[in-house]
Each structure stands twice: as structure tokens, then as C-alpha cells.
Amino acid sequence: MSGRIFLFGDDIDTDQLAPGQYMKGGLEELAKHCLEGVRPEFAAQVRPGDIVVAGKNFGMGSSREQAAEALKHLGVAGVVARSFAGIFHRNAINLGLPVLAAADLSGISDGEEAELDVGAGALRLAAGGRRIVLEPLPDNLQRMLADGGLVPHLKKRFAAGNGRPA
């Protein structure tokens, strides 16, 4: 599935992704306010398959996993950034949202068509056929992502009799 790129800068924090004042309500409501502090139109415009591309330290701040969950809820195919904050990165994989790093993301334009190929670890830009190679995830995280996140991963593990009995 391909989509459009939504381009962001460095240090996008979790309070922008999941604003505190909407944390009481459900995900539906929270997602409507995702990133509104930096880009008010984001939640209304983003469509399934779209890709968030950002600078360094994406997701810094809180451990609230709604920061990743809101993006997933909006149908974002994944986040490609120069680097990620540690807890956000774990949360995203645990929820099955692909998050992949690439040291050089220069020359990518906001709104351009692209496809995130998680299996191949690449971001393919429609214009000019450019292909950006993404840093591979550690094996354990690749498995977790392939299973769809931590909960299905654990279900599979328990069903296989590995770990705690179901």
C-alpha cells in the first residue's frame, strides 16, 4: 500500500502525538488531536497508508503508548525517522506500528507519494524511483512486528507452550 509522506522535524514529543488533556477519553477522540500542536490539519488529512517521516529523536518524552497508538489508529503505515526515542520505539513495535530509522532522509518532500516496505526495510519514493534503505530492526523486534505486536506474539508463544501456560 502506498501513501503520501507527512514530513516533520526533530524532537517530536509524545505530548504532541497524544496531548495530555485528551488522555481521559478514548483513542478515537485522542487521535483527532494527534500532532495538532505542530500541524493542526494532520489528523483530518492523514489517510491509511500515509507515512510519517521525521528528524531525530521522534517520540521523546512520556511512556504513554497512545502516542504510537494514535498514529496506528489513523492508519499511518509507519514512521521513518533519523532516530527514535527509546520508549516510543518499544511501544510502537509492541503495538505493531513499524518504526524504522535511516541516517539520511534528505531530499524527501512533504506530500510526495511513497511506499513503506517493512519486510525489505526500504522506503520507495514514487518520483524518480528513489529507494531509501532503512536500518534493520534486531531479530526479536522483527519477529514481534511480523506477529503484529506483543500481544499476538505472546499468544503465539503461550500456545506453543513456551513461557507461561495459557
Partner 1 sequence: MRATLAQKIIARAAGRQSVRPGEVVTAKVDLAMIHDSGGPRRVEPILKELGVGLFDASKVVLISDHFVPGDTDEGARILELTRRWASERRVAFHDGEGICHVVLPERGHLKPGMFVVGGDSHSPTGGAFGCYMFGIGATEMAGVLATGEIWLKVPGTILIEWRNRLGPGLTAKDIMLALCGRLGMDGGKYQAVEYAGEAIAALSMQERMTLSNMAAELGAQAGLIAPDETTAAFLRAAGGESGDHGPLFTDPGAELLEHHVFDAAALAPQVAAPHSPANAAPVGETAGTPITVAYLGACTGAKYVDLEGAAGILRGRRIAPGVELLVAPASRRDQQRATEDGIMKVFEDAGARILPNACGICAGYGVDRLGEDVSCISSTARNFKGRMGAASSKVWLGSPLTVAASAIAGRIADPRDFLREANR
Give contact residues for partner 1 (rule: CB under 8 A): 11, 13-16, 19-21, 23-25, 37-38, 56-57, 60-65, 68, 83, 85-87, 89-91, 94-95, 138-140, 149-151, 154-155, 158, 163-166
Three-state DSSP at 117 gives strand
Distance of CA 151 to the CA centre of its chain: 17
CB of 164 to partner 1, least distance (A): 6
151 sits in the region (left: phi over 0; alpha: psi -120 to 50; else beta) called alpha
CB of 26 to partner 1, least distance (A): 10
CA–CA gap between residue 82 and residue 50 (Å, rounded): 18
CB of 97 to partner 1, least distance (A): 11
Residue number with CB closer to partner 1 (106 or 162): 162
CA–CA gap between residue 156 and residue 159 (Å, rounded): 5
Residue number with CB closer to partner 1 (75 or 149): 149
